[in-house]
């Protein structure tokens, strides 16, 4: 939750309170999980990742929820089960746990963390990691740019740091391991472009010259390597100590979004907008469906919000007059038969097959949870509205709905969270439309997850071009 917007909403109340909010908006792709820089620091829990990929019989697993951890001795060493002093009791480990290596710098299973950086300059990686001994405590770290291109300039013929070899293609870090994350916490020291039994002498860092979304990648050099958390931070910020700073907010874009139109069997999943209209029983009534995949999030959230950018708000019929408009937000219950609805193509969502759809402007209450109501002001477009727990029908309704999926309360853990939008105000002439994930001119719907209590004060850090609207409902 943006602290500035929250402060302004408290001061201005339920009216259409407008606050100028801050930061650089990146138009992320569909279905992405991104950590967003906060004051030059990005803090990642290892078990909340953007992507993971297995290789051969090796993979990264969440301990202890997906794997209880090593259960046998390796190289005559007793292994803690699970490893000690993980920040929130969860961490990522490369399995199987055994003696020996696990591939080179470009193969093997890997973890990826997408990070949005707004401050240019030198950025350093600090790992909180461990292994069960010296045969499981090393890994490689690399960086890719906004286009997914590995940042590198080749490994030769010059030694790293000389001649034309000035960019680290990768770093190796040798952590030192005794199955206890507190022993060698927050390591930045590594060595560029080596694959060796021991690596040291180079700070793990890159020079970020352009703001944008970058991807940190971790490959294990040895089996059994484990990561509890990592930071990517500007060189002007203090190195983490102890258990380290709180996890940074995560922004997730939809893996699917669409709208359905009354009695229309056409699909609208590829359009640049999500239209929502209440025209009663008229065929111009539309409902919005927005789905997020939170399957890569494994720690519970303490706050959440849904951000939508208004694409259109007018009175229709050529009348550009904007209106104050209210919307209901419903959550599709976990394990609903339609939660894997298809955005476009064969079998795609339409009025007849949309999950929890009911006649007219209605939604099937038995298949959904009513989460609350939000409004957009009498502004035409370029407005970001935010639905949060402040707008929830009951306290923590939105947070609980998301945490139920993360905690596998329904038993299927598919990670799919669908929000259904309907318009409260009935007027067949009014048009309201939000940017979809297909839009290239505005922000895609974004689910923001926060993992710590919101700060008590707000800091004004700059001016952005968009207006954020927040309302207090309780």
- Give the gyration radius of the chain's Cα atoms: 24
CATH superfamily of 41-246: Galactose-binding domain-like (2.60.120.260)
**The predicted structure's pLDDT at residue 79:** 60
**The predicted structure's pLDDT at residue 408:** 75
Contact in structure between 92 and 61 (CB atoms under 8 Å)? yes
**The predicted structure's pLDDT at residue 177:** 78
- What is the spatial distance between Cα 374 and Cα 359, in angstroms, rounded to a whole number? 22
**The predicted structure's pLDDT at residue 26:** 42
* Cα angle, residue 271 at apex, residues 269 and 276 outer, rounded to 5°: 80
Per 3-state DSSP, the chain is made up of helix, strand and coil in percentages (nearest 5) of: 5, 40, 55
DSSP reduced 3-state for 258: strand
- What is the spatial distance between Cα 296 and Cα 23, in angstroms, rounded to a whole number? 25
**The predicted structure's pLDDT at residue 238:** 97
DSSP reduced 3-state for 351: coil
Strand partners, 328: 373, 422
Torsion-angle region of 347 (φ positive above 0: left; ψ -120 to 50: alpha; else: beta) = left
- What is the spatial distance between Cα 359 and Cα 376, in angstroms, rounded to a whole number? 25
- Strand boundaries in 333-403, DSSP class E: 368-376, 383-388
* Cα angle, residue 105 at apex, residues 101 and 108 outer, rounded to 5°: 60
Give the domain ranges of the chain: 3-32+253-469, 41-246
- Rounded to two decimals, what is the model's pTM? 0.86
DSSP reduced 3-state for 166: coil
Letter string b/e over residues 344-371, b meaning 16 or more CB atoms within 10 A of that residue's CB: eeeebbbbeebbbbeeebebbeebbbbb
Specify burial of residue 78 (Cβ count, 10 A radius: 0-12, 13-18, 19+): exposed
**The predicted structure's pLDDT at residue 459:** 35
* Cα angle, residue 467 at apex, residues 463 and 470 outer, rounded to 5°: 115
* Cα angle, residue 46 at apex, residues 139 and 207 outer, rounded to 5°: 65
Specify burial of residue 327 (Cβ count, 10 A radius: 0-12, 13-18, 19+): buried
User: Which tokens hold the place of 95?
Assistant: 């399995």
Count of beta carbons in the 10 Å neighbourhood of residue 95: 21
**The predicted structure's pLDDT at residue 4:** 29
DSSP reduced 3-state for 52: strand
Pairing mode, strands 383-388 and 467-469: parallel
pLDDT (tens place) for every residue of the chain, 474 residues total: 333 233 223 322 322 222 223 233 344 556 899 999 999 999 999 999 999 999 888 899 999 988 887 654 555 555 656 889 999 899 999 988 765 555 555 567 999 999 999 999 999 999 999 988 888 889 999 999 988 899 988 877 788 888 888 899 999 999 987 889 998 779 999 999 999 888 999 999 999 999 999 999 999 998 889 999 999 999 999 999 999 999 999 999 999 999 999 999 999 999 999 999 999 999 999 999 999 999 999 989 999 999 999 999 999 988 999 999 999 999 999 888 899 999 999 999 999 999 999 999 999 999 999 999 999 999 887 899 999 988 888 989 999 999 999 987 445 568 999 999 999 999 999 999 999 999 999 999 999 999 975 443 233 223 333 334 433 334
Contact in structure between 296 and 114 (CB atoms under 8 Å)? no
**The predicted structure's pLDDT at residue 153:** 86
**The predicted structure's pLDDT at residue 3:** 32
Would you give the end-to-end CA distance of the chain in angstroms? 16
Residue in 442, 118, 60, 372 with CA at minimum distance from that of residue 248: 118
């Amino acid at each position: 939750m943006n602290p500035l917007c929250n402060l302004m909403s408290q001061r201005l109340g339920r009216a259409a309170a407008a606050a100028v909010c801050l930061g650089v908006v990146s138009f992320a792709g569909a279905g992405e999980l991104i950590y967003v820089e906060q004051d030059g620091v990005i803090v990642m829990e290892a078990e909340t990742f953007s992507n993971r990929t297995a290789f051969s019989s090796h993979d990264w697993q969440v301990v202890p929820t997906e794997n209880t951890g090593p259960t046998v001795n390796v190289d005559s060493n007793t292994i803690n089960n699970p490893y000690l002093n993980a920040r929130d009791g969860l961490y990522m480990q490369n399995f199987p746990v055994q003696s020996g290596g696990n591939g080179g710098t470009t193969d093997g299973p890997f973890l990826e963390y997408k990070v949005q950086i707004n401050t240019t300059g030198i950025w350093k990686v600090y790992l909180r990691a461990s292994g069960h001994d010296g045969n499981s405590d090393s890994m490689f770290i690399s960086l890719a740019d906004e286009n997914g291109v590995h940042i590198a300039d080749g490994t030769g013929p010059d030694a790293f740091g000389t001649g034309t070899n000035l960019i680290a293609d990768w770093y190796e870090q040798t952590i030192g391991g005794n199955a206890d994350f507190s022993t060698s916490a927050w390591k930045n020291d590594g060595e560029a472009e080596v694959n060796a039994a021991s690596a040291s002498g180079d700070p793990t860092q890159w020079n970020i010259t352009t703001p944008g979304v970058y991807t940190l990648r971790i490959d294990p050099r040895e089996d059994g390597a484990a990561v509890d958390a990592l930071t990517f931070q500007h060189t002007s910020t203090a190195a983490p100590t102890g258990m380290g700073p709180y996890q940074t907010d995560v922004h997730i874009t939809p893996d699917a979004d669409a709208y359905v139109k009354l009695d229309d069997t056409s699909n609208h999943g590829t359009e640049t907008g999500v239209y929502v209209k209440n025209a009663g029983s008229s065929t111009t009534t539309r409902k919005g469906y927005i789905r997020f995949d939170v399957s890569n999030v494994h720690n519970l959230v303490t706050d959440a919000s849904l951000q939508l950018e208004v694409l259109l708000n007018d009175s229709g019929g050529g009348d550009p007059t904007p209106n104050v408009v209210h919307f209901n937000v419903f959550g599709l219950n976990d394990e609903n038969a339609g939660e894997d609805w298809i955005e476009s193509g064969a079998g795609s969502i339409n009025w007849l097959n949309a999950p929890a759809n009911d006649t007219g402007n209605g939604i099937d209450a038995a298949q959904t949870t009513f989460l609350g109501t939000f409004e957009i002001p009498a502004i035409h477009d370029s407005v970001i509205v935010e639905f949060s727990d402040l707008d929830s029908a009951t306290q923590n309704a939105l947070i609980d709905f998301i945490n139920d999926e993360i905690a596998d309360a329904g038993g299927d853990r598919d990670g799919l969270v669908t929000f259904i939008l309907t318009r409260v105000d009935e007027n067949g002439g009014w048009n309201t439309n939000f940017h979809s994930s297909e839009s290239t001119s505005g922000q895609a719907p974004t689910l923001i997850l926060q993992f710590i209590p919101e700060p008590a004060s707000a800091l004004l850090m700059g001016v952005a071009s968009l207006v954020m609207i927040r309302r207090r409902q309780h």
